[in-house]
Structure 1
Amino acid sequence: MKAGSNLLNAVSAIALSAGIVVAGAGVVSFATVTVAEAAVISRVDVRGNSRVDASTVRGNLTITPGAQFNNNDIDESVKRLFSTGLFSDVRISVSGSTLIVEVEENQIINQVVFNGNKKLKDADLKQVVQSRQLGAYNDLSLQADVQAIRDAYSAIGRSDATVTTRLVPVAGGRVNVAFEINEGDRTKIASINFVGNQAFGDGRLADVITTKRSGMLSFLTRKDVYDEDKLRADEELLRRFYYNRGYADFRVISSFAELDETNNEYVVTITVEEGERYVFGDVSIESTVPGIDSDSLKGLIETRSGAVYSAKDVEDTILAISDRVATQGYPFAQITPRGDRDYNNRTISVVYLVDEGTRAYVERIEIRGNTRTRDYVIRREFDLSEGDAFNQVLVRRAKERLEALKFFTSVNISTQPGSQPDRVVLIVDVQDDSTGEFGVGGGFSNSDGFSATVDITERNFLGRGQFIRASVGGGEDSRDYSLSFTEPYFLGYRLAAGFDLFKNTDSSYDGFDIDNQGINLRIGAPITENIYLSTAFRYTQTEYSDVTLTSITSMPERNAVQRAINNGGHDVASLSYTLSYSTLDNRTLPREGVSAYLTQEYAGFGGDSEYIKTTAKANYFHMLSESADMIGQVSVGAGHVTGVGDDNLRVFDHLFVGQKIIRGFDTRGIGPRVFNGTTEVGAAGGTTYFNGTVEVSSPMPLISRDMGLRFNVFADAATLYGNDISAADFGTQTLVGSDMEWRASIGAGVSWASPFGPLRVYYAEPVVKESFDDIKKFGFGASTRF
């Protein structure tokens, strides 16, 4: 750049000495006087301007009357005048003691219009072009606008869009600018080919990357839009995938896309070299920092000798050690893993070195690209702020947290030097994603018929990171309404506080309708990265309407309703806590990891019920076949409720088990029942349940994985037993099925990761059941994003 500037100055000097002035980009004018040495002028004469004031011209000159100037000053003045975008030509000459500046003004843009555009609205295109109404017309800017429009169409998968311009002069030196657009057809991705992969099939690797092959519904997902930056990001996804599965030598040899202009389709080819698969060898910690005991840190190691090598386990270990030594007063300590490969035994021994790192501080955190999400929503995911010690591990953790929010399509954090050698500027580049969801779910029961639920969810309300959901649902005999709100950073702390308002009616009971309404207040906080604790206070008011006591065939229900009517309704006030744990690799489609929760609820804060209820569930996911993408799942669960004090539990406070726990059975489908002689009159509920599920899922055979269809087979088992209803409430009726009797079902289903969200359909056949159980063999559900 400097050499080019010197050359331009030299050319200007030669031209001036010959009576020629170089005016900007290729405009050459003849001057009346040669300026070879420094000169002085007494006045500046501006000519040719009509709209632009002469003072504006003079203000962009580096030459002033009474001061010496030379060729460089003339050259710089011409550049400045052209850079204003106001002029199409500039000529500077000297006549005696007068500097003559002759300009030709650019035309003023009267109007900018777009013709032929349907896929991109006018408002979208106006954001990408430089030409503006009442702005100066410029040929170079116009050509840049043409390319910007083409780039915008390429971003939505229309690489063959063409753009031409048409100028229409109008009065007063103005011009209308029209962009004529031919949007063309969508540029598809015909295929994605992997070369060099042996351990994992093409289908499995295609699941890892975000670029997808074009399919029937690609016009909705837009995942088949080719983008070079996205392909580079896919390379990184492949690296992490292989690094976490033992392939420490993996590398991407090349990745490119070829456009078949005849068919307007890309063919993407990714060539990889997998290398050998490694396991961890010896793992140890060494510290050169006085005061840090290596032995005390060994419990933080996530990498175990003999386990398959995983880059994520190494990163988790570095993070855990960094956190520990920082709390011990060493914020600048740097943890560096040193790997030693044994190529013969295919092992990698790792030594974690704890050293004094470079002292550097965060000067500022600069956030870019967020058009919707507020800055503070992004900043609060960082465990460091301006002035804190710079820690690369904490930066990586912040990136993972931002990605986990699912607010952004991309998150990139880079660093730049600050104002001092020990200062660092963090640059956070994000791109907002859609965070709204529209959901619909339903099922069919042989007793209740069809039911449906519709809900609207926004996970980033007004860009504040707040969660809000409104839901309406029901079936032939029920109606449900709810409104939920969550503030994830209550009072500026990592406390998720929120409330749920709910109301539901159920007229499926004989002789009465139930109306429930109430509020649930909750607050939760992470204990570690994997453990979360939440507490809630719930108040429910139950009223009974359209009561005909003689029509209530179940005596326990009749007595419970009678007591509630006498008391003006039945209120329950409870306090609960939930402790949850998760190591799932993906919450949408887990392939590896464990999730579990334990909930305990105590009711008795001034309400009409007093009990302790405990429920728990654990899920384990494991990849049965990487090449076939076959996932195994084992789930177990349990629940128990017991009364507090001398009173028995009322029937409605018992546990009920149905299709949510064991498929193939209806709501309240299994467990103890009330009988009047040989006739069943209602479900009595139980005090204890256990359940288990074994499930295997894999992509649908003979169908492209890009469709997102998965087939699953399952086996469910559950038991619900025990009962704490007062014997007096049964009267002449009897309780059946209170013993521990297991039910079981087997079935199959299909899930579809559709553009509208996940869809699920299943059919379950009970294979172990009791004669009084209620059966429901078919179920389905759906949700979608917007």
Structure 2
Amino acid sequence: MKNKKSTIILLTFFIVFSTENFAQRISEIVFQGLINVKPSEIKSKIKTKKGDYFVSENITEDTKELLSTEYFDNVEVEFDTTTRKLVFKFYERPLVKKIEVRGNKKVSTAKIKEEIPLKEKEFFTKLKLEESKAKIFDLYDEKGYVYTTVDTEEILNSEKNQINIIFLINEGKKIVVDNIEIQGNKNFSRRKLLSLMETKRNKPFRETKLNTDIQKIVQFYKDEGFYDIEVSTPQVLQIDQEKVKIMFTINEGIKYKVEEIKFEGNKVYSEKEIQKVVTLKKGKVFKQSELDLSVQFISELYAERGYLQVRIDPEIVKDINLRSISVVFKIDEGQQIYVDSIYIEGLQSTKEIVIKREILLKEGDIVNTKKLRRSVEKIYNLGFIDEVNIDFQPGATATSVDLVFNIREGRPGMLSAGAGYSTVDQLVGNLQVSHLNLFGRAQRLNLLWEFGQRRKNYEISWTEPWFLQKPISLGVSLYDLTRIREYSTEPNAYKEERQGLELRAGPRISDVFSLLFSYSYENVIIFDSKFPEDIPEGKKLTSSIAAQIIYDTRDNIFDATKGTRQSLSLQIAGWSILSGDVKYYKPIIRSSVFLPTFWKFVLSFNTTIGYIEGIEGFDLNNAKYEKFYVGGAETVRGYAYRMLAPENGGRIMFVFNTEYKFPIVQENKRTVLQGAVFYDIGGCWNEFNEIDFSIGATEKWSKYGYWDNKLKHSIGFGIRFTTPVFPIRLDWAWALNPRKGDDPLRFWFTLGQMF
């Protein structure tokens, strides 16, 4: 099992050619030695084709590609200059036909086969065999079987070049921890130190886990100011065949505070600028983790200006008498590094320009890691990229690097159909065709048909994010939406149909600042009204323009974990040449903030303030559907739709939401199932003198069930499902100011993010 020699053999190949091969066309390509690998698979791996000129560099690349498949021990290539025949000679590795596991009782065969790298119907290597044995050891070690042995038998069928592998396991005895003795601890109790350890009494003994536990104790002491902490090598004493006793001694030393923090060698940044990122604080207890973070943050600060090779060496100066530590950060700044070339690899259907235009750095720029991180976020925000990795390769000079973006594409489009029950629209179904990367150019196309008891919708939308290769988005939407609306206490008060066209265009001024302009032409048809005096039937045309200013620093537009989105919009309908039956202006301010707390828990806040006013004497009561309504799944979730607004809607609206989201299930480093707790508060008014920002209820609301002007609030929890098409929200909300006779608990099933 000479792994090193085997590895060398796997990486060798031999190419035979002569100077007479120059400019000769290949008449035939022959594969020799293939047994378990299909010729069609080889053809798909190599670029050289029959009729091509013989180019040695191309043959070398093809051979490297073939060896990278790990199907072969070696590949040789010969070219006959007379017949112009190109021959690939393959030395196949054996194909694993069957894997057997014998002697295992405590770990199932299925578990072992799942965990080991060696797989049936894949090609055999000695390296994979040794890694598989090591993995089996780990599986038993986790359960406390530290004396397990693993042997193997290899049965080779030379004719078929297939191999059967048998793992022979002797599990041995399970070893558990009987007791853990700690000596020398004075400042912290034995219980506290044991709580830091994964090694526990009456639990399986694992040497690797014990070594990790010792490091945890050392780190704990150093974070409490005990820089000189020493922990002896643990003694593991065998009590009997199945129990061990663990003993170790601690020399705590003295507790230090930070006396002084200095910097040497810094020229690019002043001491004051560097001090801002240093987490270690003068006069506070010394913490090793804060020292390590300070080194990391200083390095990141320099990397933002292209000093990728900066070296930070913290020198510790102890004063035992004063029980203090002074830290001198010795900085070797190095040279600025520039971007030489940018390469994109791994693309399947996406055009290279789609990725490159999202990268904030250009060739010749100083490397800025902050811009690089933002570039990765922008690439993910395309919506069809599953993974992005950046590799730094040496550039043409000592002060330059090539940036290689390795991309793994996801599914850009899909056809989906579904049905469900929505608390708003009751039984609903949908058929949707969506594509996020049309023609490989990141254009978005969405075709949607929704149908249900209370809702019917046909919608087509298309967006080009880079019109004429400029940072300008261009989009169009057509829709026909019919809904049954509620009014007063009647859930089926009238039917509302909206037929419309929307045109959108928006330049991106910078990475985070953009404008959006739109024109909307919409017919609103009211029919089957049960309240003809309040809600008359008929059709009204709304022709409007809107402008929006957006400031967006979110890391992920689909599921933000940090950043902010601020927007100010103004919609004007029916004014001047716009014509139409409805005339108003409507400014809306929205502010969303996302704060990471710990791990992947995210605290978020959203505030929405809106106002609408008729123009040219238009009475908004003739277009109640354009006014504001608060209550329901999108505003204050503890109350029914429109419950917190005057009966005919309001001209002024305020809503504040906060959510604390946490992951439940993750796949490929992405959260597919989330939990959330939330708090909502809001209100709606017709006149400014009606506004009351106090929370509560008057007798008019609580006893008689009529709208009042106080804010109402609610709390609740929810579940978020991330689907390939749209996110699904399930929310359970509890009204804190319920009306008399109302059930304070409400359940919402809705599509899309809250904010």
Q: Report the TM-score when normalising by structure 1.
A: 0.52
- Counterpart of 1:762 in structure 2 is 731
Distance 2:722 2:501 in 1: 33
Letter in 2 for 1:661: T
Q: Is the 8 A contact 1:283 1:304 kept in 2?
A: no
Q: Are residue 369 (structure 1) and residue 346 (structure 2) matched?
A: yes
The structure 1 residue matched to 2:635, chosen from 661, 667, 671, is 661
What is the alpha-carbon distance in structure 1 between the residues aligned to residue 560 and residue 440 of structure 2?
28
Alignment of 1:496-645 (within 5 A): 496-508=473-485, 513-529=495-511, 531-544=512-525, 547=527, 551-558=529-536, 561-562=537-538, 564=539, 569-583=540-554, 590=560, 592-603=562-573, 604=575, 605-622=578-595, 631-645=602-616
Describe the superposition over 1:322-373 as per-residue Cα deviations: whole angstroms up to 9, x where unpaired: 4xxxxxxxxx998968675779889989899998746x662x4333221222
What is the Cα deviation at residue 707 of structure 1? 9.9
**1 CA distance for matches of 2:275 and 2:357?**
26
- Alignment-mate amino acid for residue 533 of structure 1: S
Residue deviations 1:615-669 (CA, integer Å, cap 9, x gap) = 233344456665xx65544443322212233222232221122321111333333
User: SS at the partner of 2:90?
Assistant: helix
Counting matched residue pairs gives 529
**What pairs with 1:312-323 in structure 2 (closer than 5 Å)?**
322=305
The whole-number CA distance in structure 1 between the counterparts of 2:163 and 2:523 is 63
- Deviation of 1:379 after TM superposition, in Å, equals 2.0
Q: Is the 8 A contact 2:35 2:92 kept in 1?
A: no
Rounded Cα–Cα distance in structure 2 between residues aligned with 1:750 and 1:429: 33
Q: Deviations over 1:279-301 (max 9, x none)?
A: 9x989999968xxx979x97998
Equivalent residue in structure 1 for 2:367, among 391, 401, 412: 391
User: RMSD value over aligned CA atoms?
Assistant: 6.0
CA 1:552–1:582 in 2, change beyond 3 Å: closer, same or farther?
A: same
User: Counterparts in 2 of 1:177-216, with a 5 A limit?
Assistant: none
Aligned to 2:719: 750
After superposition, what is the alpha-carbon deviation per residue over 1:559-593, rounded to whole angstroms, capped at 9, x for unaligned?
xx45x4xxxx4222222214233355x55655555
Q: Is the 8 A contact 2:361 2:368 kept in 1?
A: no
Matching residue's letter, 1:555: E
- How far apart are the structure 1 equivalents of 2:589 and 2:195? 38
8 Å Cα contact 1:467-1:486 kept in structure 2 = yes
Matched, 1:720 2:691: no
Q: What does 1:487-498 align with in structure 2 at a 5 Å threshold?
A: 487-498=464-475
One-letter amino acid of the counterpart of residue 412, structure 1: N
- Pairs within 5 Å for 1:646-725: 646-649=617-620, 650-657=623-630, 658-673=632-647, 684-698=648-662, 710-722=674-686
Q: Distance in 2 between matches of 1:595 and 1:450?
A: 34
Q: Is the 2:351–2:440 Cα contact (8 Å) retained in structure 1?
A: yes
SS at match of 2:680: strand
1:287-436 equivalent positions in 2, closer than 5 A: 322=305, 357=336, 362=340, 364-386=341-363, 388-389=364-365, 391=367, 393=369, 397-417=374-394, 425-436=402-413
- SS at 2:535 equivalent: helix
1:716–1:745 Cα contact (<8 Å) kept: yes
Whichever residue aligns with residue 553 of structure 1, its letter is F
Greater C-alpha radius of gyration: 1
Q: Supply the AA of the counterpart residue of 2:637.
A: R
**What's 1:226 paired with?**
none
When normalised by structure 2's length, the TM-score is: 0.54
Distance 1:526 1:159, change over 3 A: farther
**Structure 2 CA distance for aligned equivalents of residues 200 and 482 of structure 1:** 57
Question: Could you say if the C-alpha distance between residues 470 and 719 of structure 1 is closer, same or farther in structure 2, counting changes exceeding 3 Å?
Answer: same
Uncovered stretches (5+) of structure 2, i.e. residues with no partner = 6-12, 22-27, 42-65, 76-83, 100-112, 125-158, 167-192, 199-218, 228-254, 283-289, 319-323, 487-491, 689-704
Distance 1:443 1:589 in 2: 24
Native 8 Å contact 1:505 1:514 kept in 2: yes
Contact 1:695/1:715, CA 8 A, preserved across alignment: yes
Query: Does 1:160 pair with 2:119?
Result: yes
2:515 is paired with a residue whose SS is strand
Deviations 1:405-447 (A, max 9, x none): 454443333344556777754433322223346586865438x
CA contact (8 A) 1:571 1:608 kept: yes
How far off is 1:539 after superposition? 1.4
* d(CA) in 1 for partners of 2:275, 2:478: 42
CA contact under 8 A between 1:287 and 1:355: conserved in structure 2?
A: no
Structure 2 partner of 1:33: none
**Separation (CA, whole Å) in 1 of partners of 2:660 and 2:31:** 71
- CA pair 774-146 structure 1, distance change in 2 beyond 3 A: same
Q: CA deviation at 1:505?
A: 1.6
Tell me how far 1:486 sits from its aligned partner.
2.2
Work out whether residues 96 and 120 of structure 2, in 8 Å CA contact, stay in contact via their aligned partners in 1: no
1:744 CA drift (Å)? 2.6
Aligned counterpart for 2:746 among listed residues 774, 777, 780: 777
Query: 1:555 aligns to what SS in structure 2?
Result: coil
CA separation of 1:690 and 1:314: change in aligned 2, threshold 3 A = farther
Find the counterpart in structure 2 of residue 457 from structure 1.
434
Q: Is the 8 A contact 2:426 2:453 kept in 1?
A: yes
AA in 2 matched with 1:748: F
AA at the equivalent of 1:410: E
CA distance, structure 2, for counterparts of residue 708 and residue 110 of structure 1: 38
Contact 2:393 2:402 in 1 (8 A): yes
- Of structures 1 and 2, the one with the larger relative CO (CA 8 A, separation 6+) is 1
| Unaligned residue ranges in structure 1 (runs of 5+) | 5-23, 26-56, 65-83, 89-105, 115-124, 166-176, 185-196, 203-241, 250-275, 323-331, 674-683, 725-735
